[in-house]
Amino acid sequence: MNSTKTITVNASKSYDILVGKNLITDLGEIFIKRFDKCKVAIITDDIVDKLYSAVVERTLLEKGFSVVKFVFNNGEKSKNFDTYSQIVNFLSENELTRTDLVVALGGGVVGDIAGFSASTYLRGVKYVQIPTTLLSQIDSSVGGKTAIDLEAGKNLVGAFCQPELVVCDVQLLCSLDQKVLEDGFGEGAKYALLDKKVFDLIKDKDFSMQEFVYLCIDYKRQIVEADEFEKGNRKLLNLGHTIAHAIEKLSSFNLSHGKAVAIGLDFVLDSAFGKGRITKEQYEQIKSVLLNITKSVDKSLCPFSKKQICECAVFDKKRSGDYISVVNFYGVGDCRIEKIKIDNLLGQFI
Ligand code: GLY
């Protein structure tokens, strides 16, 4: 039985997100139904390349696509101008045109830099996201944010550019390293606080991973459709992230993003209780549900003081003038974007 589910995103461009099992083995079939035969440039990293490139290449060649491939070193350190320049030069050397396709095969780093390359090369060529980690399936591959990093910080150069298609093969998650999976669940915990459907699903520890991925993406779909360019409610997706970005930076990026988000969420919940927005019982019940997916929802895992976090958070992208937008928690499915004065950031925690 084919249990693949399709989510259609109606943003500035409409596109489908497929959520199912063993999709990459059928990629040629999926592509031939949607795209004319063309040249496909696979952009991937060295770890993902060893695992999945061969099967992806084979299925595309079988359906008459031609394939070229660019591989770079795994990790955030590669998400820079140097790799970007190598990718766009590779596309040019291989004479990729606007009728061809870029395929981002990998986690968040691959998706961000391949997407940014596709959105700028020839002023934009079509690209497809094939996210291979939980974090990239539920978050970074959806919604068209593409970017590279600067010395000064993450994702400081980028573009909004929606893909043509996103293929989430949840079977790939079964072979993920435990640390990489845990990282994705940190971001997943954010969705559980934002959306009651996700929260209710994970109350049962034996929840279906496909349903989890589907519900997180479907929540993000609604947000992106309403606010593609992050002028308003898309900022809700930054729940826990002001603190997370500060913790990541203070740790010189040795702490993973998902873990930092999970820690950030515990600070947010703690503050909601401290400010009387939720009761102690609610705090404990919510936390115990989140602990079903990640043990990192625990502020005691944070090696930095609240003061250090605030001093670092002042440089957040979400700052405008003397104010910063933070997302506060009032209950599951009730999070609110609030502007506070930078000087009052420390007061957020208490
Ligand atoms: N990762 C948050 C967003 O896509 O808006």
| 8 A C-beta contact, residue 107 and residue 48 | yes
Q: What angle do CA 302, 239, 180 make, to 5 degrees?
A: 60
> Six-digit token pair at 108?
């968040």
Report the pLDDT value the prediction gives residue 321, as an integer from 0 to 100.
Answer: 85
**139 ligand 1 Cβ < 6 A:** yes
Tokens, residue 26: 């059928």
Is 245 a pocket residue for ligand 1 (Cβ < 6 Å)?
no
Determine if ligand 1 sits within 6 Å of the CB of residue 115.
no
CA distance 89 to 121: 9
Tokens found for residue 119: 């959105």
How many secondary structure helices (H) and strands (E) does the chain include? 14, 12
Mean pLDDT of all residues in 210-227: 98
Q: Is the pLDDT of residue 350 over 80?
A: no
* Average pLDDT of the segment spanning 83-102: 98
Does residue 169 surpass a pLDDT of 80?
Answer: yes
Q: What is the pLDDT of residues 230-247, one digit of tens each?
A: 999 999 999 999 999 999
What is the C-alpha separation between 231 and 234, in angstroms, rounded? 7
Ligand 1 centroid, distance to 193 Cα (angstroms): 15
pLDDT of residue 315 exceeding 80, the answer is no
Q: What is the mean pLDDT of the chain?
A: 95
Ligand 1: distance of its center to the CA of 139 in Å?
A: 6
299 lines ligand 1 (CB under 6 A): no
Report the nearest atom of ligand 1 relative to the CA of 223: 5
Task: Report the pLDDT averaged over residues 71-75.
Answer: 97
Strand partners, 325: 339
Nearest Cα residue to 315 out of 115, 158, 150, 184 = 150
CB 125 within 8 A of CB 88: no
For residue 86 the two structure tokens come to 């190598």
Q: Closest ligand 1 atom, CA of 140?
A: 1
pLDDT tens figures, 238-272: 999 999 999 998 998 899 999 999 999 999 999 99
pLDDT in tens, 199-208: 999 999 999 9
Which ligand 1 atom lies nearest to the CA of residue 143? 4
Average pLDDT over residues 91-107: 98
Task: Cite the DSSP H helix spans in the chain.
Answer: 27-34, 46-48, 54-62, 81-93, 108-120, 134-135, 178-194, 196-201, 209-226, 241-250, 257-274, 280-290, 306-313, 345-349
Quick one: what percent of the chain has pLDDT higher than 70? Answer: 99
Span 128-152, mean pLDDT? 95
Contact 327, 236 (CB under 8 A): yes
Q: pLDDT for 19-66, tens place per residue?
A: 999 999 999 999 999 999 999 999 999 999 999 999 999 999 999 999
State the closest ligand 1 atom to the C-alpha of 237, by its place in the atom list counted from 1.
Answer: 2
Q: Is the beta carbon of 335 within 6 A of some atom in ligand 1? A: no
What is the average per-residue pLDDT within 166-187? 95
What is the per-residue pLDDT for 182?
Answer: 94
The residues that bridge with 126 in the sheet, in sequence order, are 101
DSSP secondary structure letters along 57-102: HHHHHHTT-EEEEEEE-SSGGG-SHHHHHHHHHHHHHTT--TTSEE
State the distance from the centre of ligand 1 to the C-alpha of 215, rounded, in angstroms.
Answer: 15
Which contiguous run of DSSP H or E holds residue 134? Answer: helix 134-135
Nearest-10 crossing angle of helices 209-226, 178-194: 50
Q: How far is the CA of 158 from the centre of ligand 1 (A)?
A: 13
Residue 228 CB–ligand 1 contact under 6 Å: no
How far are the Cα atoms of 2, 88, 117, 122, 160 from residue 145, in angstroms, in the given order? 30, 18, 12, 18, 5
Separation CA 333–CA 222 (nearest Å): 13
Q: What is the pLDDT of residue 1?
A: 47
Question: Per-residue confidence at 153, pLDDT binned at 50, 70, 90?
Answer: confident
Percentage of residues of the chain with pLDDT beyond 90 = 87
Three-class secondary structure of residue 299 per DSSP: helix
Whole-number Å distance between alpha carbons of 303 and 320: 28
Tell me how far the alpha carbon of residue 62 lies from the centroid of ligand 1, in angstroms: 35
